[in-house]
Amino acid sequence: MENMHEKLPIIYHPRYKLGTSWLKHLHYLDMDKSGDLYRGLIKKKLITPQQIHKPKSITSAQLHSVHSTDFVCNKLSDKNWLSNVFQVEAMRKVPYAISKHLVLKPMFYHAGGTILAGKLAAEHGWAINLGGGAHHAHAKDASGFCAVADISISIEQLRSNNKDIKKIMIIDLDAHQGNGHERDFIHDSSVYILDMFTHGELPNGNMFYPNDETPMDRINACVKLDFNTKDDEYLDKLATALKQAKAEFSPDMIYYVAGSDILEGDMLGKQNISVNGLIERDEMVFSFAQQMGAPIVVVQAGGYQANLGSIAADSIENLNQKFDLF
11: part of which helix (H) or strand (E)?
strand 10-11
Note the pLDDT of residue 90.
78
The 8-class DSSP code of residue 307 comes to: T
Catalytic residue among 13, 136, 138, 176: 136
Quote the CA–CA distance of 185 and 195 in Å, as a whole number: 14
Note the pLDDT of residue 94.
85
- Taking every pair of C-alpha atoms in the chain, what is the biggest distance, in angstroms? 56
Quote the CA–CA distance of 139 and 63 in Å, as a whole number: 9
Bridge partner list, 224: 197
CA angle at 261 for the pair 259 and 264, rounded to the nearest 5°: 135
Quote the CA–CA distance of 281 and 312 in Å, as a whole number: 12
Residue of 227, 267, 222, 203 whose CA lies nearest to 212: 222
Note the pLDDT of residue 253.
98
Quote the CA–CA distance of 159 and 236 in Å, as a whole number: 33
Note the pLDDT of residue 128.
98
Note the pLDDT of residue 271.
96
The long-range contacts involving 182-190, CB below 8 angstroms and separated by at least 24 positions, are 182/212, 182/215, 182/216, 182/218, 182/219, 183/138, 183/139, 183/212, 183/214, 183/215, 183/218, 184/66, 184/138, 184/139, 184/149, 184/152, 185/152, 185/155, 185/218, 186/214, 186/215, 186/218, 190/166
Measured from the Cβ of residue 265, the count of other Cβ atoms closer than 10 Å reads 11
Is 138 catalytic? The answer is: no
Note the pLDDT of residue 15.
94
Quote the CA–CA distance of 272 and 50 in Å, as a whole number: 37
List average pLDDT for each run of 10 residues in the chain, which is 326 residues long. Answer: 75 88 53 90 95 97 97 95 86 86 93 98 97 97 95 97 95 97 97 97 93 94 97 98 98 97 91 97 98 97 85 96 94
- 132 Ramachandran zone, left/alpha/beta (phi>0; psi -120 to 50): left
**Domain segments of the chain as ranges:** 10-323
Note the pLDDT of residue 303.
87
Question: How many residues would you count in the chain?
Answer: 326
Distances, alpha carbon 90 to alpha carbons 20, 104, 210, in Å: 13, 15, 23
Q: For domain 10-323, is the CATH number 3.20.20.370?
A: no
Quote the CA–CA distance of 135 and 302 in Å, as a whole number: 9
Note the pLDDT of residue 3.
60
Note the pLDDT of residue 87.
83
